[in-house]
Structure 1
């Protein structure tokens, strides 16, 4: 049994999926909570949401976890941006008081506003607080260089800071000596191993096609327009390649227009939302997983791809080079470079990959193992 079996944990997070994971934001937090729940008596997740956004989110419970989505007023103007952390704190406080929640430790996700509110609550209730800083690197560097005293106060007053990559640890230690590098992870139970032919049959894909799979929000930072440009170059070399991009977002129409303009309708297809029961099929059906991001912290989908033995082709952003440390696991190129990305894809399609070796390597990044590291740090700050 865990040393925390009689303790309650409060989770504060900017986003958290709904009961069936259709609202996908913060899925990495939910998967982590799944394993943290084995160590604690009860876990309370509070994810305040502005009025008018994510209207379908409803409070729910599962196992020993209770999830709350309190609402607060927010407008995208400077006055409300400055008050976001305090309003986040007040929304969380309303839930705590209404539900009479008692907790022994706070784990906040992201610096602003979750981490800031977490530190305020920790001072209010005299409990320790740890913050996981998931921010992609561009976002993190904006915070670091912001001169924002609320952000700096948050980092200084946390009992521990967890950063999802190693390269930013020295920067955070300018504010707090208790900084640890702990990457994201993946849940192997969510992505069972399926024989490639069976997965393709289920999805209606050709056996002789070379399949590329990618997944993420269709936003600028994910760089999918560079992947489409790369596919334009790839298809000049070989015609048997099809790239499937899963996910929704504001750039969907623009990306489809780019596909149409380049005449890639038979080679690049936008899948939209990929539900959990389909994700394992796509991961196992593919020959490669490609993520062309412009900025990352440490992308969960990278670990999920490696977890099923799928080689990862991506960019040298955030913590990605700290994970793809050998060309036995994948190939990397600079961001915003479709020529290099196309070259790496073509090399990877011709390479004989040892998928079992990739799976074995990924084993160290299961959420079960990552949570063990979090528990070690929680033990230190609870003493």
Structure 2
């Protein structure tokens, strides 16, 4: 079976961590040996690779075509205009990608199905492409695409249209599929297929050794991982660290990620009097995160929105318990107090209380690892294969009778 994976969320040689969760699911699916895939991962058009343009320059530097881990990936350009970008993006995305998709067909890759990721604008654009190429369509929802964007009237209507065009929708957690159900989409076409965790990449390493290598002393080490944006809650983690001083005065917080909140987070640490206990280490390659997870005593995830937070499973696969906001798919990831704590209130005080209780309980790291082992990719990959085969087979039957 040949599938075309379509998403703006996919790594490239110039942005190797961008959308890595989409690449991971596809790579796991390919291990089934029942699927062949090509990837069309459009990037916004930008005219210059000059260093002064920062992230925008990376768009221009992205190769038009490349090989990643044995996958053929095309990066066509699309227009993302300021101010009107949000509403026009599905159309410009589809128009920009159509020639690249046709190129793959002309080269002999006449795919059976479009596997799209992220409902808006990607899923809407994929629905336009599916109609043009007369192919079945599956759209996977991942978080903000359904727990935030439908608040805007026009994108909500486009999401509803795309969901009706799609032969099936997948949610990485049940909460996301409830959104589509509430938008009037037939429940029989909604499927929950959770993300797994790469249990070979994320594995426990000796904690003392990792602390020594990373320059961490023996005090409790808390870790917060993700883009430096407000909704990831790194500022809440800083507040929690300050609130922990009464019981854990030597605790440290390491924040791994990069983004627009960098200076604000440093300022917050100064205001809370914990500047010397907070360390921002920048973006850490996915392959290196296990060292930080293994060194930490707890991962803190104070997000305001999450679909399925991969960092929680990654940390637990390394034996590290977690403290996380009780939102969306997170209660489906953390179901046992023996591996973590869920926090109802997104505040420093609430996270400090939960972290204090977790540190006092001192969860067994081997038990935390065993819990994560229940989230391998096998079940999800096989569920995808069954769904894709059923849709491709149905399409073939329709074409035989046309």
Paired residue secondary structure (2:120):
helix
Report the more deviating stretch, 147-156 or 255-264: 147-156
Report the more deviating stretch, 359-368 or 299-308: 359-368
Contact 2:230–2:261 (8 Å) recurs in 1: yes
| 1:196 alignment counterpart | 207
Instruction: Quote how far apart the aligned CAs of 1:141 are.
Output: 4.8
Using the alignment, how far apart are the partners of 1:144 and 1:374 within structure 2? 29
Using the alignment, how far apart are the partners of 1:380 and 1:363 within structure 2? 29
| 1:182 alignment counterpart | 193
Report the more deviating stretch, 286-295 or 81-90: 81-90
- Out of 10, 18, 24, the position equivalent to 1:25 is 18
> Is 2:197 the partner of 1:157?
no
Using the alignment, how far apart are the partners of 1:335 and 1:94 within structure 2? 48
Q: Runs of 5+ in structure 2 lacking a partner?
A: 47-55, 394-402
| 2:81 alignment counterpart | 75
- Out of 84, 89, 95, the position equivalent to 2:94 is 89
Instruction: Quote how far apart the aligned CAs of 1:11 are.
Output: 0.7
Contact 2:222–2:298 (8 Å) recurs in 1: yes
- Out of 67, 80, 83, the position equivalent to 1:61 is 67
Instruction: Quote how far apart the aligned CAs of 1:245 are.
Output: 0.6
Distance 1:267 1:8, change over 3 A: same
- Out of 262, 267, 276, the position equivalent to 1:257 is 267
Instruction: Quote how far apart the aligned CAs of 1:63 are.
Output: 4.8
Using the alignment, how far apart are the partners of 1:96 and 1:197 within structure 2? 50
Using the alignment, how far apart are the partners of 1:14 and 1:269 within structure 2? 31
- Out of 120, 136, 143, the position equivalent to 2:150 is 143
Instruction: Quote how far apart the aligned CAs of 1:335 are.
Output: 4.3
Report the more deviating stretch, 320-329 or 362-371: 362-371
Contact 1:14–1:114 (8 Å) recurs in 2: yes
Using the alignment, how far apart are the partners of 2:103 and 2:86 within structure 1? 26
Instruction: Quote how far apart the aligned CAs of 1:41 are.
Output: 5.1
Using the alignment, how far apart are the partners of 1:373 and 1:357 within structure 2? 27
Instruction: Quote how far apart the aligned CAs of 1:142 are.
Output: 3.8
Give the alignment's Cα RMSD to 1 decimal. Answer: 2.0
Q: Deviations over 1:182-227 (max 9, x none)?
A: 2222212222321111212221222x22111110000011111111
How many residues are paired up? 373
| 2:399 alignment counterpart | none
Using the alignment, how far apart are the partners of 2:62 and 2:376 within structure 1? 28
Contact 1:18–1:57 (8 Å) recurs in 2: yes
User: Could you tell me the TM-score, scaled by structure 1's length?
Assistant: 0.91
User: Could you tell me the TM-score, scaled by structure 2's length?
Assistant: 0.87
Using the alignment, how far apart are the partners of 1:318 and 1:220 within structure 2? 17
Using the alignment, how far apart are the partners of 2:19 and 2:34 within structure 1? 20
Q: Runs of 5+ in structure 1 lacking a partner?
A: 1-6
> Is 2:313 the partner of 1:303?
yes
Contact 1:10–1:45 (8 Å) recurs in 2: yes
Paired residue secondary structure (2:101):
helix
Using the alignment, how far apart are the partners of 2:74 and 2:359 within structure 1? 45
Q: Deviations over 1:265-314 (max 9, x none)?
A: 22211111112342111011111111110111111111111212211101
Matching of residues 100-179 of structure 1 within 5 Å: 100=106, 101-136=109-144, 139-143=146-150, 146=153, 148-173=156-181, 174-177=184-187, 178-179=189-190
- Out of 377, 381, 385, the position equivalent to 1:375 is 385
Report the more deviating stretch, 196-205 or 97-106: 97-106
Larger helix fraction of residues: 2
| 2:397 alignment counterpart | none
Using the alignment, how far apart are the partners of 1:342 and 1:262 within structure 2? 14
Instruction: Quote how far apart the aligned CAs of 1:132 are.
Output: 0.6
Report the more deviating stretch, 281-290 or 87-96: 87-96
| 1:320 alignment counterpart | 330
